[in-house]
């Protein structure tokens, strides 16, 4: 299965033609893309897939984009949100940003500008992470240098293995479902490929040996343990 190196972006847009343009341009730039068309489905997808960013149409049917963003922030989910709206009104922009949106685009817009704004939001998020190192027992993972050390000795991992281990360590002991790992490590939301996760976890365990900080939660997914 092909990996999307930049991670999965959730596009929430009820106009199929616009959603398709956004999807194609984001994929061209190395992102995986999952599309939802209403607010409730979007909230469920964020919880399930843990995307790197959400491109969120304000004018959704039912629960609109502002309500979706508010619900995310109220549950302490700070996934970057880029609002897209057909209304060019300063009040709407202010309300959106006050709800916790990270950026704002007014239709019509260039798909290239959308991609550039998503990249910019992610760069700001990366800068905020600083130089933290994730650890579990003798395993140390440095996101900045993309290196993993086991008891001080560097371990060679593939890009996908690194992304998978980072997702588990970053969850802080929380059980991570296979669908979320697919979205995080591969940038896809292909539920039929969950066996791929199991194969790569087995490879990680083989490379890290008995120190592998990965516990299987039967029927659900995996979690990192000390």
> For 186-195, what is the mean pLDDT?
67
Clarify whether residues 18 and 124 are in a common domain.
Answer: yes
User: Across the beta sheet with 53-57, what order do the strands follow?
Assistant: 32-36, 8-12, 53-57, 81-85, 103-106
What is the reported pLDDT for 10? 96
pLDDT at residue 208 tops 70: yes
Clarify whether residues 74 and 155 are in a common domain.
Answer: no
The span from the CA of 125 to the CA of 69, in Å, is 17
Clarify whether residues 173 and 191 are in a common domain.
Answer: yes
What is the reported pLDDT for 133? 87
What is the reported pLDDT for 1? 52
Clarify whether residues 153 and 47 are in a common domain.
Answer: no
Clarify whether residues 114 and 139 are in a common domain.
Answer: no
What DSSP character marks residue 81?
E
> For 133-141, what is the mean pLDDT?
90
Summarize pLDDT for 13-43 with one digit per residue, the tens. 999 999 999 999 999 999 999 999 999 999 9
- Residue 33: which CATH number? 3.40.50.2300
Write the Ramachandran bin of 199: left for phi over 0, alpha for psi from -120 to 50, otherwise beta.
alpha
**Domain final residue pick, 128, 146, 166:** 128
Name which of 37-46, 162-171, 177-186 the model is least confident about.
177-186
- Residue 160: which CATH number? 1.10.10.10
Clarify whether residues 109 and 163 are in a common domain.
Answer: no
Clarify whether residues 118 and 25 are in a common domain.
Answer: yes
Clarify whether residues 34 and 85 are in a common domain.
Answer: yes
Confidence of residue 184 (pLDDT cuts 50, 70, 90): confident
**1 belongs to a structural domain:** no
Residue of 2, 3, 116 lying closest to 53 (CA atoms):
116
Clarify whether residues 110 and 155 are in a common domain.
Answer: no
Confidence of residue 8 (pLDDT cuts 50, 70, 90): very high
**143 belongs to a structural domain:** yes
Confidence of residue 181 (pLDDT cuts 50, 70, 90): confident
What is the reported pLDDT for 127? 56
Tokens of 86: 């057909």
What is the reported pLDDT for 9? 94
Summarize pLDDT for 144-162 with one digit per residue, the tens. 778 899 988 899 887 788 8
**Domain final residue pick, 128, 160, 180:** 128
What is the reported pLDDT for 72? 92
What is the reported pLDDT for 14? 92
What is the reported pLDDT for 31? 92
Residue of 187, 137, 151 lying closest to 167 (CA atoms):
187
Say if pTM beats, i.e. exceeds, 0.85. no
The span from the CA of 34 to the CA of 23, in Å, is 8
Clarify whether residues 100 and 13 are in a common domain.
Answer: yes
Domain that holds residue 141: 134-224
The span from the CA of 87 to the CA of 91, in Å, is 10
Clarify whether residues 200 and 214 are in a common domain.
Answer: yes
Q: Rounding to the nearest 10 degrees, give the CA dihedral for residues 218, 139, 32, 4.
A: -120
Residue written as token pair 């399930």: 48
Residue of 128, 106, 103, 108 lying closest to 118 (CA atoms):
103
Clarify whether residues 141 and 106 are in a common domain.
Answer: no
pLDDT at residue 189 tops 90: no
**2 belongs to a structural domain:** no
**Domain final residue pick, 105, 128, 151:** 128
Summarize pLDDT for 45-80 with one digit per residue, the tens. 999 988 989 999 988 988 999 899 999 989 988 888
**3 belongs to a structural domain:** no
Provide the number of structural domains found in the chain: 2
**192 belongs to a structural domain:** yes
Write the Ramachandran bin of 96: left for phi over 0, alpha for psi from -120 to 50, otherwise beta.
alpha
């Amino acid at each position: 299965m092909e990996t999307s190196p930049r991670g999965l972006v959730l596009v929430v847009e009820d106009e199929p033609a616009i959603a398709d343009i956004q999807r194609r341009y984001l994929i061209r730039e190395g992102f995986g893309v999952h599309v939802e068309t209403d607010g409730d489905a979007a909230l469920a997808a964020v919880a399930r897939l843990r995307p790197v960013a959400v491109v969120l149409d304000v004018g959704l049917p039912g629960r609109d984009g502002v309500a979706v963003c508010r619900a995310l922030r109220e549950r302490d989910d700070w996934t970057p949100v880029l609002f897209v709206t057909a209304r060019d009104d300063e009040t709407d922009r202010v309300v959106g940003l006050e709800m916790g949106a990270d950026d704002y685009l007014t239709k019509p817009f260039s798909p290239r500008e959308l991609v550039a704004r998503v990249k910019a939001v992610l760069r700001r998020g990366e800068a905020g992470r600083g130089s933290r190192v994730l650890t579990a027992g003798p395993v140390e993972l440095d996101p900045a240098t993309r290196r993993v050390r086991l008891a001080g000795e560097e371990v060679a991992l593939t890009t996908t293995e690194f992304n998978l281990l980072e997702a588990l360590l970053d969850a802080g002991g929380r059980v991570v479902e296979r669908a979320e790992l697919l979205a995080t490590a591969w940038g896809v939301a292909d539920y039929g490929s969950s066996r791929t996760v199991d194969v790569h976890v087995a490879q990680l365990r083989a490379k890290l040996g008995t120190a592998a900080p990965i516990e299987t939660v039967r029927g659900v997914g995996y979690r990192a343990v000390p």
